[in-house]
Amino acid sequence: MKLWINKFKNAFRGFGLLISDFSVRIQLVLLLVASVFFMMLGLETYEWIAVVICFALVIVAEMMNTVIEKTLDYIQPNQDPKIRNLKDMGAGFVWMACMFAIIVACIIIGGKI
Ligand SMILES: Nc1ncnc2c1ncn2[C@@H]1O[C@H](COP(=O)(O)OP(=O)(O)OP(=O)(O)O)[C@@H](O)[C@H]1O
């Protein structure tokens, strides 16, 4: 039982560290703004499910990218072309998640107008 409480505590601490990151905060603010917009638009339950899945995809991608960036900064604080490639791939990963979320948003908004 104590082991599970510790695991939960560690995960909660990690979550706190993640949401203290600037890029993660920006994404959370954008998701909040998008939520208000979709609330005003009035979505069906199945549309909300799609929106929530997209939000999860974007925020989890951003959080994973933050961990990758911090790991790379830790192992190589100096300029390095290989680190550049890895960081750009991480950014591309987040960008890809955002593109799919934007496509879903366009489909939902398109259906309302
Ligand atoms: N050590 C490095 N060597 C070479 N290029 C790097 C290095 N660190 C960062 N870069 C380049 O700078 C870009 C931005 O990196 P940075 O670590 O500042 O990320 P960021 O997207 O600004 O995120 P955050 O604001 O969360 O740190 C990378 O995508 C990469 O092209």
Instruction: List the alpha helices (DSSP H) in 1-113.
Output: 2-19, 22-41, 45-75, 81-112
Question: Domain total for the chain?
Answer: 1
The string of pLDDT tens digits covering residues 44-99 is 999 999 999 999 999 999 999 999 999 999 999 999 999 999 999 999 999 999 99
Catalytic residues: 62
Minimum CA distance residue for ligand 1 atom 25: 23
Tens of pLDDT, residues 18-30: 999 999 999 999 9
Per-residue pLDDT, 63 = 97
Average pLDDT in the 5-28 region? 95
Distance of alpha carbon 77 from alpha carbon 2, whole angstroms = 37
Per-residue pLDDT, 100: 97
Give the rounded percent of residues in the chain with a pLDDT score beyond 90: 94
CB contact at 8 A, 54 and 104: yes
The structure tokens listed for 93 are 């990963």
What residue numbers does the annotated binding site cover?
62, 69, 87-88
State the CATH number of the domain containing residue 59. Answer: 1.10.287.3610
Write down the pLDDT at residue 3. 86
pLDDT at 96: 97
Which residues does a 6 A CB cutoff place in the pocket of ligand 1? 21-23, 66, 69, 76, 79-80, 83-84, 87-88, 91
Structural domain that includes position 100: 2-112
What distance in Å separates the CA atoms of residue 58 and residue 31, rounded to the nearest whole number? 9
Alpha-carbon separation of residue 55 from 60, 75, 77, 83, 100 (angstroms): 8, 30, 31, 28, 10
